[in-house]
Each structure stands twice: as structure tokens, then as C-alpha cells.
Structure 1
């Protein structure tokens, strides 16, 4: 497993700020995702030169991340499978593609940076999507893959913490309590993707060198948790894998 790189940004104050923003995901998504996008751009900038880079955001949604990455000089292209998500913040930007993350409609080695945040747990074949992200990235380019881990406190999304009793049970409970289905429906648009799943894929794939595996929201001194089986599933919240394409 790669050694951690201590950065000035990965502080306890930064972690507390990000955790505090979680409570706004449902009532004020623009606030939550704007904060997350700004932090993501800074975090990715530690591993890839964004200025002048062609960047694909797999599952880019309504554009909160576009502003953050373009501010750092990237030519940003977003892909999403849901037209409603793409238009959630207004008009759909011209550099936007409708398609599946598991079958990216791009040729081999066409982007400098391939990025995905909080999407992997929403596709039925997550490691096919991860392989696709490596495929479309140029040799020497960067893949940044991040997802909400299933056994973390937010693994069930709006059905948490009842997902600890099973995703289907949590979905049924949410439906009984609220009178409608959750946005993230277990077995359809939400799947159980663990830290261990990600580590196995990182070891198995042959297309990229792993630069970092880290808990996304933790301060630098707490990144050791991903080395500890079981504990890493409960406290990681969100796992990041960064790779350099061979």
C-alpha cells in the first residue's frame, strides 16, 4: 500500500468543516457540494497538474464541481447517466455528455485526468466503471476515484443508520416512515461497496500505479485507519484511490 503524503491542507480543522457540511446534503445541496468541490479540487491538485489538463468527471451531476476545477485551469467535461441530475442547477453546459460510467463514450487514452466522486456506490458494476476510467486516461495521467463506503456512518445515505441492519430492510423502513422511496434505492441506485472491495481492485488491476489510498475526509495523521481490517470499514466514511496510468 502506498505511503501517505503529509499535506498542509489535511488538518483536523478541514476535516471538521467537511463533516459539518454533511448535514446540508439534502436540504441545501448547493452548499454541500460546492464545499466538497472546492476541497476536491485542492486535493486532486496534489496529485495532478490541473492547469491545461483535459478532465472528465464521471457522474458530474449539475456542475458544482465544474466551477472548482475550471478555476484551477482544467478543461472540464462532465458525464452523467441522469438528465435530471445534469440539469439540477439550471441549463446543461455544452461540455456535458449523457452516458454510462460503465461504458464511457470516449476513446482509449483521451483525457489527462479522470475523476469520480460519490458515484461508485450508485452503479451495479463499480469495478467495471473503475476499469473504464483507467482506459480513457492517457499514459501518465491521473485517475481519482472516491466513494462512500457501505459500512461507514453514511453508507446507507438517507436510510442510514438502518443500513447496518441490511440495505433492503433500511429501504423498506424509509418507505414506511416517509411514504415514498428514498432517492438512493438499495439494489437499484445504491449498492454496498466496501473499503476491502476497493483495495482488492487496486491490487488486481494492471493499468495504473497506485499513488494513494486514503480516507477522504480525515486529517493526515488519521489515515492509518485504512490499514486496519474492520475498523477501516466503520470509520473511513469515504475512500479515495489515486492512480497514475501506465
Structure 2
């Protein structure tokens, strides 16, 4: 049985999944993101579905993927039995989706064209850092999630080694300087342009939003690609912005909990520093 069909396994199963070998495989695939996107995004999609399945059963659930892109996640979520709806502002990404384009929406993450409480799970992978108003997007994701539903949001913090994306690691010297350097060396601007299509989003900012929002409960906060025994880095303000590489926030929408509702882990439980 594939990872996408494993279902909810609880904290012990999530630890067995988050191994060092899995982390190494993800980082190796990351090195070929530009040259072999099918390998990288296919692996990331399968890995993400397995992570989400560790918190909530996906079979029969409606999943809204904010920033769904060219369809890799569509195939993985549908293989897990979910009713998948992808949303992306760039119609060009849809053209790359092939058969996965069915069920896709064109729209903005900060003004989701979805009715309130209309989906069971909202998912977003590596999109939040590309939004000028990240908390507005998070608010919208909360709005469209039904009570008891789950939000699964990950992004690359600005101070991460990959925070500047293709301009990294020069973003540590300033986003504008890194952008100019990239253009000089490549004869074109980067795809991820500082304060246009890439913004300095932080873990601390996102945790403050989560702690201050009465409509959600924090289920988990962890470095997305790290092995389970490295989760403690999220408890270290400042340091986590650099070493987490990619931050994952798992939330439950406040309200009545359905059967198979997500469970809070022992890690967060109200003890993650902001």
C-alpha cells in the first residue's frame, strides 16, 4: 500500500515516517528542482499527502490546495481518496497540469472564491512567502474550512538558507541586493523578486497569528523536511528561522469535531515560543 493510503497513524506513526532517510531523499530531490521538476514535485506531493494523512483521514474529504500549481498534488491527493480542488492565480500553471486540470480554480489566495466552511482540509505548500499579505491568506483559509476541519500550511522562512529562493544565499545581504546580483549574472530578473513575488515571512509572525486567532487550535508546528527528532528547533526563537529550512503549521478550525478529527501532538500543546 502506498504512503498516500496509510490513513491516520497518530504521533508514533508520524515519527516512523519522519526518518533521516526521508529527509535525505527530499533534500537530494531538492537539488534537481529546476532540472527535474517531475522528480522533485512528485516526491514532495506524495510526502505531503502522507504528512496530512498523519493528522486527518483523507478518503472522502474535500481538500482545497491554495496555490495548487501544475497538478502534482492533485494526483497525490486523489490517489488518497480525497476530493481535490486546486486554486492558483496563474492560468499558465494549469496548462501544465494535463488531465489534473479538472477541478482547478483560478483565483487569489487572499480572496478565495470558496464559500465559508466549504472544505474539510485546506492545504498550502510553499505559497505563503509569495503573498504580500500572508495573514490575510491564512484568515481566508480559516474562513473556508469547516468547523473541526484541518489547515496544513508550509512555507520557507526568509532567514532560511533557501529564503531567497534562486537568489539565495545572497538574500542574507538584503533582498534587493540579491535580486540585482542575480540579474547581473543571469541577464534577467529572478522569478522570485523581492517584495514583488517573494516576501520576508517569518515563523514568529505566523505563530503569533495562530496564537492570537480564536478560530483555530494549534495542532503542530515543526520543520517540515526534518526528521522527527529535530522538531525541537521550533522551540528556539531566532534560531528556528534559519535552521528549520521550511516551516509547517497544522491547525484545527474551532467548532464541533467530526469523527476522525485531527489530534493535537505532545510537541506543541501550547508550548511553542513565539
Q: Normalising TM by the smaller chain, what interval?
A: over 0.9
Secondary structure class of the residue paired with 2:38: helix
TM-score (norm 1): 0.96
Aligned to 1:226: 234
**Aligned-pair CA distance for 1:91:** 5.7
Question: Is 1:75 equivalent to 2:83 in the alignment?
Answer: yes
SS for the counterpart of 1:97 is strand
Tell me the residue number matched to 2:212: 204
- 2:176 counterpart (163, 168, 174): 168
- Residue 26 of structure 1 pairs with residue 21 of structure 2: no
1:12 partnered with 2:20:
yes
Q: Which residue of 1 aligns with 2:4?
A: none
Structure 1 segments of 4+ aligned residues over 3 angstroms from their partners: 89-92
Which deviates more, 25-34 or 123-132?
25-34
Is 1:141 the equivalent of 2:131? no
User: How big is the alpha-carbon RMSD for the aligned residues of Structure 1 and Structure 2?
Assistant: 1.2
Deviations along 1:142-168, one digit per CA (max 9) or x if unpaired, are 100100111111111000000000111
Query: Which of 111, 121, 134 is residue 113 of structure 1 equivalent to?
Result: 121
Name the SS of the counterpart of 1:79 in structure 2. strand
Whole-angstrom distance in 1 between the partners of 2:21 and 2:100: 35
Residue 92 of structure 1 and its aligned partner are, at CA, apart by 6.2
2:26 match: secondary structure:
helix
Instruction: Give the whole-Å Cα distance in 2 for the aligned partners of 1:171 and 1:206.
Output: 38
Give the match's secondary structure for 1:141.
Answer: strand
Q: Which runs of 5+ in 1 are unaligned?
A: none
| Local SS of the residue matching 1:115 | strand
Partner of 1:184: 192
CA distance in 1 between partners of 2:71 and 2:106 (Å): 14
Distance 1:105 1:51 in 2: 24
Is the 2:74–2:100 Cα contact (8 Å) retained in structure 1?
Answer: no
Out of 219, 225, 236, the position equivalent to 1:217 is 225
- Give CA deviations for 1:12-58 in whole Å, capped at 9, x if unaligned: 11111111111111111111110000000000001111000011000
**Inter-partner Cα distance in structure 2 for 1:92 and 1:50:** 18
Among 19, 34, 49, the residue aligned to 1:41: 49
| Contact in 1 for aligned 2:183/2:189 (Cα 8 Å) | yes
Is the partner of 2:200 in helix, strand or coil? coil
Provide the C-alpha distance between the structure 2 equivalents of 1:169 and 1:114, rounded to a whole number of angstroms: 35
Q: State whether residues 142 and 151 of structure 2, in contact with CA within 8 Å, keep that contact through their aligned partners in structure 1.
A: yes
The gaps in structure 2 that reach 5 residues or longer are 1-9, 255-274
